[in-house]
Amino acid sequence: MRLPLLSLLPLAAAKTILPPQEPHHIFSNPSEQTAFKIPTSYESAILARRILHLTPLGTLSTIFPSSSQHASSSSLEQRPTGLDGIPIGLMDYIADCESTGNPTILAINIATSFKNVASGSNISLSLQWTPPYPPSSRISLFSSANPSQYSAANLPRFSLLGYLEPIPEEEVEANDIGSCFVESHKDAKYWLPGNKIHASEWVRLVVREVYWIGGFGDRAYIGWIPVEDWRNVSKAEWKGVRLPGEKKGWREWGAEVLGGWEL
Ligand SMILES: *[C@@H]1O[C@H](CO)[C@@H](O)[C@H](O)[C@H]1NC(C)=O
Ligand SMILES: *[C@@H]1O[C@H](CO)[C@@H](O)[C@H](O)[C@H]1NC(C)=O
């Protein structure tokens, strides 16, 4: 005899929020009061700094230079025509090895992102929070769906906008940047500066602007985070908060609150 599908699901996965808290503003903060207290940009900055610390991969976006200012016209690269000014986003390894909120990156000179930077492009790093656990309390829409699916639109993501600068040798040594980076990325030991395969160097993304989407706009902050707030977040602050799904048992339609994410 076939069992009803529901009885095969873990008990917790069948729970839904009553009444369901449907989002009323998805991509912006409403001007009127909502059922939730929308966090301040500083509270969001704390969550963002925690995401930076816990997330080893991000997307670097740069812009192709005009063909005339191409830094390496003599290089082997054959690039299609018509790319001038077009943005390209590519995944790369990142780490949080300085206390300033400027991400640490190992720039490989021949990689497209860093060639564009060498030709004068600014850069942005886009990060998203991916919960390691599925939610245990579901919105009714998804409650019978694959438990590994969740509403990613209600989860934090953000972009750090700025430029790259080399990390001076003294600071690489003083802050032990190499060990910090390899702790997150064991394989990167093969392309550390001085390796025999590719020329590489330590750089930091100097953050100038931060754009944050914390989740649905009626319960999370959506907008620019002042860069002074971003830089000012202390280690104790980002260590003291929790993100949705860091631990088992979180509510899919939860909200950002002071002290992290309500569970
Ligand atoms: C990089 O950003 C700065 C600051 O916004 C701007 O002044 C500069 O023109 C940008 N560089 C390029 C190549 O677009
Ligand atoms: C940064 O933090 C320090 C110490 O907590 C505080 O005195 C200062 O006012 C803060 N700066 C900004 C711009 O928030």
Radius of gyration of the chain (CA): 21
Q: Assess whether the C-beta atom of 32 lies below 6 angstroms from ligand 2.
A: no
Q: Assess whether the C-beta atom of 85 lies below 6 angstroms from ligand 1.
A: no
User: Between 11 and 252, where is the model more confident?
Assistant: 252
d(CA 96, CA 103): 5
Given the CA of residue 229, which atom of ligand 2 is nearest to it?
14
- Going by alpha carbons, the residue nearest to atom 8 of ligand 1 is 122
| Best CA proximity match to 64, nearest among 91, 84, 92 | 84
For residue 217, how far is its CA from the centre of ligand 1 (angstroms)? 30
d(CA 254, CA 20): 11
- Going by alpha carbons, the residue nearest to atom 8 of ligand 2 is 232
| Best CA proximity match to 62, nearest among 7, 120, 17 | 120
Given the CA of residue 226, which atom of ligand 2 is nearest to it?
13
* Tokens representing residue 38 in the block: 């929308």
Phi then psi for 112, rounded to 5 degrees? -55, -45
d(CA 190, CA 194): 10
Q: Are 39 and 220 in contact (CB under 8 A)?
A: yes
For residue 201, how far is its CA from the centre of ligand 1 (angstroms)? 22
CA 222 vs CA 209, 239, 252: distances in Å: 14, 22, 18
Q: Is the pLDDT at 178 greater than 70, yes or no?
A: yes
Tell me whether the omega of the peptide bond preceding residue 19 falls within 30 degrees of 0, making it cis: yes
For residue 42, how far is its CA from the centre of ligand 2 (angstroms)? 11
Length of the chain: 263
What is the model's pLDDT at position 69? 63
Quick check: helix, strand or coil at residue 61? strand
Q: Assess whether the C-beta atom of 232 lies below 6 angstroms from ligand 2.
A: yes
Out of 41, 229, 232, 235, mutate this one to test ligand 2's pocket (max ligand atoms within 8 Å of CB): namely 232
User: Between 148 and 261, where is the model more confident?
Assistant: 261
Domain edges within the chain: 32-73+81-258
Per-residue pLDDT of 54-107, as tens digits, reads: 999 999 999 999 887 655 544 446 788 899 999 999 999 999 999 999 999 999
The Cα angle at residue 145 between residues 139 and 151, in degrees rounded to 5:
45
For residue 98, how far is its CA from the centre of ligand 2 (angstroms)? 18
Over the chain, what is the mean pLDDT? 84
Given the CA of residue 65, which atom of ligand 1 is nearest to it?
13
Contacts of 186 (CB under 8 A, 6+ apart): none
The Cα angle at residue 20 between residues 18 and 25, in degrees rounded to 5:
150
CA 158 vs CA 48, 92, 131, 170, 221: distances in Å: 8, 16, 15, 31, 11
CATH level 2 (architecture), domain 32-73+81-258:
Roll (2.30)
| Best CA proximity match to 110, nearest among 74, 77, 82, 66 | 77
For residue 232, how far is its CA from the centre of ligand 2 (angstroms)? 6
Q: Are 244 and 131 in contact (CB under 8 A)?
A: yes
Q: Are 21 and 35 in contact (CB under 8 A)?
A: yes
Q: Is the pLDDT at 50 greater than 90, yes or no?
A: yes
d(CA 127, CA 242): 17
Ligand nearest to the CA of 63: 1
Mean pLDDT value across residues 235-247: 91
Amino acid at the residue 93: Y
For residue 211, how far is its CA from the centre of ligand 2 (angstroms)? 20
**Furthest C-alpha separation in the chain:** 72
Q: Assess whether the C-beta atom of 120 lies below 6 angstroms from ligand 1.
A: yes
pLDDT confidence tier of residue 14, bands split at 50, 70 and 90:
very low
For residue 160, how far is its CA from the centre of ligand 2 (angstroms)? 20
